[in-house]
């Protein structure tokens, strides 16, 4: 097993998941539930399934498309998201 890749994957997902909508939903469910263990198992299972599907799709894509193309598409996608986040929004108060 590649321990460096394992640590990098863990760190990347852990940091990216902090403070996102799924964590806020888990906080809300855990705070209003009588069974926080069930909330933990449900949210952990959902994250595991989503990650598993991402890995499967990534592996399948890597077998069909060249790595350089996949990286280029990902880079363009992230760049578009960054530009969209920085773009000033229209005010709806008028």
- 5-62 confidence digits (pLDDT tens): 999 988 988 888 877 888 888 889 999 989 999 999 999 999 999 999 999 998 888 8
Whether 83 shows a pLDDT value over 90: the answer reads yes
Question: CB within 8 A of 40, min separation 6: which ones?
Answer: 26, 30
Q: How many CB atoms lie within 10 A of CB 48?
A: 10
DSSP H or E segment with residue 17: helix 3-17
Q: Give me the pLDDT at residue 22, please.
A: 84
Judged against a pLDDT cut of 70, whether residue 93 lies above it is answered with no
Residue entry with tokens 């894509």:
61
d(CA 15, CA 87): 25
């Amino acid at each position: 097993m590649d321990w460096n890749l394992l640590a990098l994957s863990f760190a990347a997902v852990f940091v990216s998941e902090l403070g996102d909508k799924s964590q806020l939903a888990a906080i809300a469910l855990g705070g209003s539930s009588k069974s926080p263990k069930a909330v933990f198992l449900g949210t952990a299972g959902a994250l595991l399934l989503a990650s598993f599907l991402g890995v499967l799709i990534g592996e399948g894509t890597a077998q069909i498309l060249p790595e350089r193309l996949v990286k280029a598409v990902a880079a363009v996608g992230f760049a578009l998201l960054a530009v969209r986040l920085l773009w000033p929004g229209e005010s709806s108060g008028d």
